Amino acid sequence: MKKIHIKTYGCQMNVYDSERMAEAMAPEGYAQTDDAAAADVVILNTCHIREKAAEKVYSDIGRLRELRQERRLAGGKDLLIGVGGCVAQAEGKEMLRRAPAVDLVFGPQTYHRLPAMVRAALTERQTAGQARVIDTDFPAEDKFDHLPAARTHGAAAAFLTIQEGCDKFCTFCVVPYTRGAEVSRPAAKIIAEAERLIGQGVVEITLLGQNVNAYHGLGEDGASWGLARLIRRLAAIPGLARLRYTTSHPRDMDDDLIAAHGELDSLMPYLHLPVQSGSDRILSAMNRGHDAADYRRLVERLRRARPDLAFSSDFIVGFPGESEADFAATLALAREIGYAQAYSFKYSARPGTPAAEMESQVAEEVKAERLALLQAEIAASQWRFNQASVGRRMAVLLERPGRTEGQLVGRSPYMQAAHVDAGPAAADLIGRIADVEIISAGPHSVAARLGDDGRRTAA
């Protein structure tokens, strides 16, 4: 059997896309491998969001080129190198020029054509020694209609893309250019995909979209449905114990969605709600469409609807023009909200975005200093959040074996990694939701034991 290795960079949407690519290639006789050295085809599913992620692709291509040369010298099998995802979309032909070792370049909207592209590239390699296949269209057809039904590989948690693209045009961000305009999938297709996943043993679904709460898909009744409506419908499917969604924009948290957090047990009490900055000046320069007070009010309203709701966020430090006072406002906001977790990044100037052209770019050392301060604040906040869980009972979805005998690793409702001492029955509990008691906390995880009433499990 032929083998395909897919390396995923960046966000969960790419993780989902990589899974779909593997499924599209299975009928062509390709089995997935974790080992690039054993593969006939390697696909890099790339991320363009920051320069570092984008540049890493080129060093990985260099390594693959060497691997191919070594194999050739040793008389081994050939290797087809494909690059997909957002760097491929952004650079297109330029990538083939800059990295001649690449045979195949395709964007996030055309990977349903991957089997045909790979066939074409293989033929070209055989005849010309090198392929130059490129497809970075935004096709009219819906790629999801041309992909095999979603499958999982025994995992009890799955991603489901419901929306792609973004019309917000934050001034730092490439997404509106690489992923294109906002498009929502029709509810009926999402429901069918969810039902299939649940039929395969999935108990937790994370709905994905670059701007997931801007969802406005065609509903089953012919009306346009917002995210809350879709979530209420999905929550009614028997067997779906947990629902999450990511990533949200503060401007799209409407009343119905806030209310849903208070009403639906299966909607997990954890929300990734990026704020980027705590300074009004910077938020405005970022074109975020809200100020810090709007964000604080929103968090308050959400907490009123669901008092135990935990928050996570994304932050950018060193956006052009960010002063000490602006950064202090970001630190203060982070401290005040008390995030359960958060991601923070140094601003990275991206070609073609308005912020890249702004004057007063912040020096690299200043960015590094601010990032360290913010990350220390976030780490402290995360640890406090974990410590506050000690003594609490909660339902943990047990996902995989831990490091020691009888230990399992799972996720709490608040997305904490939970190490659960499950005893001799551990293996039988994978994929189940168990009632546990949190007994201790670390900076990045909590430790738990099965609840006193023994192995009472749901799902």
Out of 210, 213, 279, 313, the residue judged to bind ligand SF4 by CB under 6 A:
210
Residue reference for tokens 């359960």: 340
Q: Which does 350 bind (CB under 5 to 8 A by kind): ligand SF4, ligand 5AD, none?
A: ligand 5AD
Task: In angstroms, give the least distance from the CB of 54 to ligand 5AD.
Answer: 10
Nearest to 166 by CA among 224, 84, 285, 249: 249
For residue 316, state whether it binds ligand 5AD (rule: CB under 6 A): yes
CB nearer ligand 5AD, residue 58 or residue 343: 343
CB nearer ligand 5AD, residue 225 or residue 345: 345
Q: Which does 211 bind (CB under 5 to 8 A by kind): ligand 5AD, ligand SF4, none?
A: ligand SF4
For residue 389, state whether it binds ligand 5AD (rule: CB under 6 A): no
Geometric angle at alpha carbon 274, from 181 and 56, rounded to 5°: 70
What SS3 state is found at 56? helix
Listed ranges 128-136, 216-224, 345-353, 448-456: which one lies at the site for ligand 5AD (CB under 6 A):
345-353
For residue 276, state whether it binds ligand 5AD (rule: CB under 6 A): yes
For residue 49, state whether it binds ligand 5AD (rule: CB under 6 A): yes
Give the helix/strand (H/E) hosting 109: none
Nearest to 413 by CA among 300, 266, 274: 266
State the Cα–Cα distance between residues 194 and 220, nearest whole angstrom: 15
User: What is the residue-wise DSSP string for 210-238?
Assistant: TTGGG-EEEPTTSSEEEHHHHHHHHHTST
Listed ranges 1-9, 219-227, 344-352, 386-394: which one lies at the site for ligand 5AD (CB under 6 A):
344-352
Cis check: omega of the bond before 8, within 30 degrees of 0: no
For residue 350, state whether it binds ligand 5AD (rule: CB under 6 A): yes
Strand partners, 157: 204
For residue 166, state whether it binds ligand SF4 (rule: CB under 6 A): yes
Annotate each residue in 170-209 with x if it binds ligand SF4 (CB under 6 A) or - if it does not, as one string: x--x-xx---------------------------------
Listed ranges 119-127, 167-175, 322-330, 443-451: which one lies at the site for ligand SF4 (CB under 6 A):
167-175
Out of 43, 64, 173, 187, the residue judged to bind ligand 5AD by CB under 6 A:
173
What's at 97, amino acid-wise?
R
User: In sequence order, which residues have a C-beta less than 8 Å from that of residue 428 and are 6 or more positions away?
Assistant: none
Going 435 to 407 to 158 to 268, the CA torsion angle's sign is positive
* Structural tokens at position 30: 């390709």
Asked whether 26 and 148 are in contact (CB, 8 A), the reply is yes
What SS3 state is found at 458? strand
Residue reference for tokens 């935990």: 310
In the region spanning residues 220 to 259, those forming contacts with ligand SF4, defined by CB under 6 A, are: 249
Task: In angstroms, give the least distance from the CB of 314 to ligand 5AD.
Answer: 3
Site residues for ligand SF4 per CB under 6 A: 166, 168-170, 173, 175-176, 210-211, 249
Site residues for ligand 5AD per CB under 6 A: 49-50, 172-173, 274, 276, 314, 316, 345, 347-348, 350
